[in-house]
Amino acid sequence: MGNSFGSLFQFSSWGESHGGGIGLVLDGCPPKLPLSVEDIQPALDRRRPGQSKLTTPRKESDQVEILSGVFKGKTIGTPIAMLVRNKDARPQAYDEMKMKFRPSHADYTYQKKYGIRNHEGGGRSSARETIARVAAGAVAQKILSYDQVVITTYVERIHDIQAPELKNVPTSDEIESSPTRCPDLKTAALMEKCILNAKKEGDSVGGSIVCRINGLPVGWGSPVFDRVEADLAKAMLSLPATKGFEIGSGFSGTFLKGSEHNDAFEIRDSKVRTKSNRSGGVQGGITNGEELYFRIAFKPTATVLQNQKTVDDQDQETELMGRGRHDPCVLPRAVPIVEAMSALVLVDHRMRHHAQCDSFPFQI
């Protein structure tokens, strides 16, 4: 349980951090979509480890293989299976974790829930599982490109270093110009120094990521339990290390009065628009055509290369020194993962909207 996501556009992931690989099965993809490895690999390259001195030194090329669901370069409407093989696994680095629980990891809760666990790199709880999300998300983003929906994600804050708020949506080149994936280069330089200092000290830092989605039509999403923002919140908080989600004005909106917070309507370019966008592009759980924007908080990486107090599987107090290869800050590599999960949510809602509101003769 808990390994599948989506309704009409659904994927299931499988695999462990130091097992044979990470894979997924994507079901519900429309037929005749042009699709190849070249559509998926660039997203995985942005997520893979070892891409800069700010990330884990684990050396994985993360080359994807499409095993089914594609014939002569097009999807055929059947399940799409994909696989990324693990090449640089070092399970022996986690021998001590057989008995000792790492602080703020899933070791203790997995052991108590299942009575058994894969201790090598966290097994199923490892962020390496997000390979499957990014691969599935790349397919979703290709579908959204036909609707001219553009998802832009970047790092806004690392530890106590905050980038200035950007009025204009940054370009991909601006985001990728720094290994931090912060488009403000002055701030990015400070962030990079902060991450490297934490790494040198055997420590870690967290921060926040902003996601801005443009080109959405009015009408995606549903009331009550299937609100777009509710599904986005679930998607984002399902990511490893996430600790918070806010959309639109978020928590800062609570400092305003209703008269200050409301988004007034107007006619602009012959369309109904809002003068402000504190709603974040969603009202009543349904997209209103404005920019959909939200931010996610990520905690500092739980594994630190310092001695920490813990307990073992015999309920005895002990100490544990963090080992293995880990990111001192997860945010730079989390950017493509946030994009992927956003795309998966939106394609699912696109399909649900069409199924209910556009697919019957009497609705024409």
CB 195 within 8 A of CB 187: no
Give the residue-averaged pLDDT of 104-122.
91
Residue 294 φ/ψ, nearest 5 degrees = -155, 170
Assess if residue 44 is contained within a domain: no
DSSP state of 128: G
Assess if residue 50 is contained within a domain: no
Stated pTM of the model: 0.95
User: Token match 């891409």: residue?
Assistant: 51
Beta strands in 16-56 (DSSP E): 21-27
CA distances from 132 to 4, 23, 269 (A): 11, 6, 41
The reported pLDDT for the residue numbered 58 is: 78
The reported pLDDT for the residue numbered 234 is: 98
Assess if residue 82 is contained within a domain: no
In this predicted model, what pLDDT tens digit does every residue of 212-240 receive, in sequence order? Answer: 999 999 999 999 999 999 999 999 999 99
Look at residues 263, 253, 255 and name the one whose alpha carbon lies nearest to residue 283: 263
- Number of domain units in the chain: 1
The DSSP bridge partners found for residue 274 are 265
Under the banding of pLDDT at 50, 70 and 90, the label for residue 268 is very high
The reported pLDDT for the residue numbered 354 is: 96
The reported pLDDT for the residue numbered 98 is: 86
In this predicted model, what pLDDT tens digit does every residue of 320-358 receive, in sequence order? Answer: 887 767 889 999 999 999 999 999 999 999 999 999 999
Assess if residue 12 is contained within a domain: no
In this predicted model, what pLDDT tens digit does every residue of 36-63 receive, in sequence order? Answer: 999 999 999 999 988 888 887 778 889 9
The string of DSSP codes covering 180-245 is T--S-HHHHHHHHHHHHHHHHTT----EEEEEEEE-PPBT-S-SGGG-HHHHHHHHHHTSTTEEEE
For residue 203, pLDDT over 90 is answered with: yes
For residue 364, pLDDT over 70 is answered with: no
Assess if residue 65 is contained within a domain: no
Under the banding of pLDDT at 50, 70 and 90, the label for residue 132 is very high
User: What's the gap between Cα 147 and its chain centre?
Assistant: 21
The reported pLDDT for the residue numbered 49 is: 85
DSSP state of 59: -
Q: Domain holding 357: CATH number?
A: 3.60.150.10
The reported pLDDT for the residue numbered 119 is: 87
Output the average pLDDT for the chain: 94
Q: How many whole angstroms separate alpha carbon 304 and alpha carbon 269? A: 53
The DSSP bridge partners found for residue 64 are 84
Residue range of the domain that includes 230 = 91-363
- Both tokens assigned to 273: 């628009």
Question: Residue type for 196, please?
Answer: L
> Cα-Cα-Cα-Cα dihedral of 325, 327, 330, 335, to 10°?
-90
Assess if residue 71 is contained within a domain: no
The string of DSSP codes covering 280-342 is TTEETTEEBSSPEEEEEEEPPPS--SSEEEEEBTTS-EEEEE--S---S-SHHHHHHHHHHHH
The reported pLDDT for the residue numbered 229 is: 98
In this predicted model, what pLDDT tens digit does every residue of 57-104 receive, in sequence order? Answer: 778 889 999 999 999 999 999 999 999 998 877 767 777 888 999 999
Look at residues 203, 225, 206, 208 and name the one whose alpha carbon lies nearest to residue 299: 206
The string of DSSP codes covering 129-154 is GHHHHHHHHHHHHHHHHTTT-EEEEE
The reported pLDDT for the residue numbered 28 is: 98
Question: Residue type for 22, please?
Answer: I
User: What's the gap between Cα 242 and its chain centre?
Assistant: 9
Q: How many whole angstroms separate alpha carbon 272 and alpha carbon 195? A: 44
Give the residue-averaged pLDDT of 290-295.
98
Q: Which residues contact 140 (CB under 8 A, 6 or more apart)?
A: 9, 340, 343, 344, 346, 347
For residue 146, pLDDT over 70 is answered with: yes
Assess if residue 269 is contained within a domain: yes
Give the residue-averaged pLDDT of 107-122.
91
Assess if residue 133 is contained within a domain: yes
Angle between helix axes 228-237 and 331-357 (nearest 10 degrees) is 150
Please compute Rg for the chain using Cα positions. 21
Query: Of the ranges 120-124, 202-206, 338-342, which one carries the lowest mean pLDDT score?
Result: 120-124
